[in-house]
Amino acid sequence: MIDENKTDFDLIIIGGGLVGASLACALSQAESSLRIAIVEAFPFKSDDTEYQPAFDARSVALSYTSKQVFEGIGLWSSINKLGVAAIKKIHISDRGHAGITRLNAEDENIDALGYVVETRVIGKALFDTLKKQKNITLIAPAKLKDFDLTKEKASARIEIDGKDKILTAKLLVAADGDDSVVRRLSGVRIRSKEYDQAAVIANIATDQPHNNRAFERFTDSGPLALLPMAATQDEKNRYSLVWTINRSEQEEMMNWDDKTFLLKLKERFGERAGHFLHVSQRHAYPLSLMRAREHVRERLAIIGNAAHTLHPVAGQGFNLGLRDVAALSQVIIDTLHENKDIGELSHLKLYADWRRRDHIQTAMATDGLVRLFSNNFLPLAALRNLGLLVVDLVPPLKKVFARHAMGFVGKLPRLARGLKL
């Protein structure tokens, strides 16, 4: 007799990027009997040379709680060995005004407020772990064409090697980025807002050591951030640059030669970080705010950029996605321990309800910062600079500000507290 409830997998993750791979690693480390498939549109890179440090490497800023998530998964030591720069101090200022706030890890009795890591370093640590797990099946390159959700199971139709294949699971997880195919096919609606801004990303070499200090400088076109990076053999003093500009300026800026770019950066930022020597290849992408109206359905959960995208003003995008990973993995493991179905809506709602506050608060905070610091109205400029000074001078306020930047938002999952699942 055929068991109609039998599935090929317990969990199918659509999207093998940093968030999807982190979820798979977290679950496989906690429950080796869980059958997991990762469906990714691009080939998984197995050549270690792809992950060697390079001046052009792109980076992410991990909050303190994100570091604890990787510690809970058991990956932090691997990431740390491959190259990490600690953020021990953060200098926040408003261009042309006197307001300044300074955050210091020592004031919080911790080693660092956050960490800057190249995405390829995280990718290598994740992939090295994934390929060792016998309960994880990597399916790539493969394209999701359609899926179906029933009371009993989720079915995904994928195209691989030019042929269609049906995969079934108890739960389908969308981790396929801001242009999520799963979200689009499911008809989940979104709330979105275009900022008419773009972020220019590059790495910068300077003539002075960064001493583990990060800078966030607000300008009339948006925030400009310099984040300390681990040294390479060729460049000892490196920063990751995130420069927010008006969309109308993007084409002109991307056409500047390196010398012009560095001169303009000096005009905008000053020389607090030293003299700018070199700039890597530049990338630019438009900025928007998006939040899915639903994060779970029967047999479906949506995480990471598929569920939300943020302005990079506070560097919270990937960190918010990792907190999704920590919460969803805990709900799944706890559901398994109760011998219940991980795809049932009643259990998935625990994840959605848990994450709602963090999603809303973080989105509102980043959007509020953009509105507040991209406005040249003189009374407002005076008010925000007074606010920066007050935060800097009032320890309780500074502590609240610092803890939010570190990712301490609401009830933290076990992984975000550095604990095992």
Residue 386: the pLDDT is: 56
**pLDDT for residue 4 is more than 60:** no
SS3 144: strand
| CA 342 remoteness from chain centre | 25
Strand arrangement of the beta sheet that strand 84-87 belongs to: 59-63, 114-118, 84-87
In this prediction the pTM is: 0.92
The predicted pLDDT at position 3 comes to 47
Query: Distance from first CA to last CA of the chain, Å, rounded?
Result: 36
3-state secondary structure of 118: strand
- What percent of the chain has a predicted confidence (pLDDT) above 70? 89
Full residue range of the structural domain in which residue 403 is found: 9-193+288-417
Could you tell me if residue 138 is inside a domain?
yes
Q: Is there a domain that residue 260 lies in?
A: no
Element (H, E) at 122: helix 119-130
Indicate whether 254 belongs to any domain: no
Contact status, residue 156 vs residue 150, Cβ threshold 8 Å: no
Q: Is residue 269 part of a domain?
A: no
Contact call for residues 398 and 107 (beta carbons, < 8 A): yes
Q: State the pLDDT at residue 383.
A: 61
Q: Which two tokens stand for residue 295?
A: 């994060």
Helix boundaries (H) for 256-316: 258-269
Indicate whether 23 belongs to any domain: yes
- How big is the chain by its Cα radius of gyration, in Å? 22
> What is the CATH number for 132?
3.50.50.60
Q: Mean pLDDT across the stretch 364-374?
A: 73
Residue 409 placed within a domain: yes
State percent of the chain over pLDDT 90.
71
Residue matched to tokens 């400088």? 217
Instruction: Encode pLDDT of 75-131 as tens digits.
Output: 999 999 999 999 999 998 877 666 788 889 998 899 999 999 999 999 999 999 999
Neighbours of 402 (CB within 10 A): 21
- Under the phi-then-psi rule, with left for phi > 0, alpha for psi from -120 to 50, and beta for the rest, what region is 407? left
Contact predicate 305/60, CB 8 Å: no
Domains held by the chain: number: 1
Q: Which of 218-232, 260-274, 396-410 has the lowest mean pLDDT?
A: 396-410
Q: How confident is the model at residue 2 (pLDDT cuts 50, 70, 90)?
A: very low
- Give the pLDDT score at 51: 47
pLDDT in tens, 246-272: 999 999 999 999 999 999 999 999 889
Does residue 49 register a pLDDT over 50? no
User: Is 199 part of any domain?
Assistant: no
Distance CA(265)–CA(280), nearest Å, equals: 13
Instruction: Look at residue 340 and tell me if it is in a domain.
Output: yes
Mean pLDDT in residue range 293-304: 97
